[in-house]
Amino acid sequence: MGELEQMALAAKVDEEQFGILAKRHKVWMLHIASEATHRYITDSDDAWSIALTAFHEAVQRYDESKGSFRGLAALVIRRRVVDYLRSEGKHADELCVTPAAFEGSLGEEDSAGVNLQVQRRMAEAASDAPGEDTASMAREEIAEIQGILQLYGISFFDLADASPKAEKTKQSCARAVRALVASALLMARMRLRRLLPIKELSAASGVIRKILERHRKYIIASAEILDGDFPILSGYLAFMKKSSSPAT
């Protein structure tokens, strides 16, 4: 049995070993996904999440008596990516709506559901980035994250109501976000299913399900911001990168 096959068997029962295996084969997985889509794929594409999830599926399905692991993994990745492309084909004409709240033309009467305090806080965060047109950068980041969150059925401006108020709950949510962002597999599952993997995240973070369910939108949005290219919005969530006491 080859080294790869031995690692695959170990990864089947050990999440840490799976992380090591996936990291070593990331470039290869991106290559297989690129072949399946006939375009260059990076780890910011949805196809990468599909490929990583398929790689995990291949690990779980692998049987040493039925050939090489690499062959099985390539087959599963190609199938899942192609299935995803077919399912997305029927949504090809859908467009993400850019939020207008930061354009300066949205009156209170037309901004139902938009919490203006969120706008002020984002402007304060933007002011910490000297030498740039921070107002424009903030608008661009909010427009981009709004498009991502729409895939989950979430509005960026829903987050004021979804944010935890108590400090203890806030720290629990921060711990959940850190655990989510630290796990490529959990992030991939969330992006694939457009749902927060509550059971797995609770086990990984130690945060109770009740908190995860109640603050689902806030946790999803925070994870997408911290795992993405959002320097201004990430600055506003910098406290999440600090350690905190265990949840109760």
| Residue 83 sits in the same domain as residue 148 | no
pLDDT value, residue 235: 77
pLDDT digits (tens, 9 = 90+) for 178-199: 999 999 899 999 998 899 999 9
| Residue 193 sits in the same domain as residue 125 | yes
pLDDT at 52 over 60: yes
In-domain check, residue 98 = no
Poorest-pLDDT segment among 125-139, 166-180, 205-219: 125-139
Cβ distance 122 to 99 under 8 Å? no
Cβ distance 57 to 29 under 8 Å? no
Q: Which of 89, 119, 136 is at the close of a domain?
A: 89
In-domain check, residue 226 = yes
Counted domains in the chain: 2
In-domain check, residue 97 = no
Poorest-pLDDT segment among 43-57, 93-107, 128-142, 164-178: 93-107
Nearest-5° Cα angle at 154, 183 to 205: 25
209 sits in which H/E element: helix 209-214
| Residue 74 sits in the same domain as residue 177 | no
- Cβ-based neighbour number of residue 30 at 10 Å: 20
In-domain check, residue 101 = no
State the residue for tokens 């995240």: 201
Cβ distance 230 to 141 under 8 Å? yes
In-domain check, residue 96 = no
In this prediction, residues 160-170 reach a mean pLDDT of 83
Q: How far apart are CA 84 and CA 74, in angstroms?
A: 15
pLDDT value, residue 108: 39
Q: How far apart are CA 103 and CA 118, in angstroms?
A: 14
| Residue 79 sits in the same domain as residue 138 | no
| Residue 124 sits in the same domain as residue 19 | no
pLDDT digits (tens, 9 = 90+) for 53-109: 999 999 999 988 877 898 889 989 998 888 888 877 643 433 333 333 333 333 333
| Six token digits for residue 208 | 């109770």
| Six token digits for residue 117 | 């305090």
215 sits in which H/E element: none
CATH of the domain at 45: 1.10.1740
pTM over 0.75: no
pLDDT value, residue 133: 54
Q: How far apart are CA 245 and CA 248, in angstroms?
A: 9
Can you tell me whether residue 207 is helix, strand or coil?
A: coil
* Contacts for 148 with CB less than 8 Å, ≥ 6 apart: 224, 228
Share of the chain above pLDDT 90, in %: 32
Poorest-pLDDT segment among 47-51, 110-114, 153-157, 222-226: 110-114
Poorest-pLDDT segment among 20-29, 144-153, 229-238: 229-238
| Residue 12 sits in the same domain as residue 83 | yes
Boundaries of domain holding 119: 111-241
Q: What is the DSSP letter of 135?
A: H
* Contacts for 198 with CB less than 8 Å, ≥ 6 apart: 209, 212, 213, 216
In this prediction, residues 162-184 reach a mean pLDDT of 90
CA end-to-end span of the chain? 46
Residue 8, exposed/middle/buried by CB under 10 A (0-12, 13-18, 19+)? buried
Q: Which of 89, 120, 154 is at the close of a domain?
A: 89
pLDDT value, residue 150: 86
Cβ distance 5 to 12 under 8 Å? no
pLDDT digits (tens, 9 = 90+) for 140-153: 788 888 888 888 98
Q: Which of 55, 89, 123 is at the close of a domain?
A: 89
pLDDT value, residue 164: 85
In-domain check, residue 208 = yes
Cβ distance 145 to 221 under 8 Å? yes
In-domain check, residue 105 = no
State the residue for tokens 């779980």: 60
Share of the chain above pLDDT 70, in %: 75
Higher per-residue confidence, 158 vs 120: 158
Average pLDDT, the chain: 77
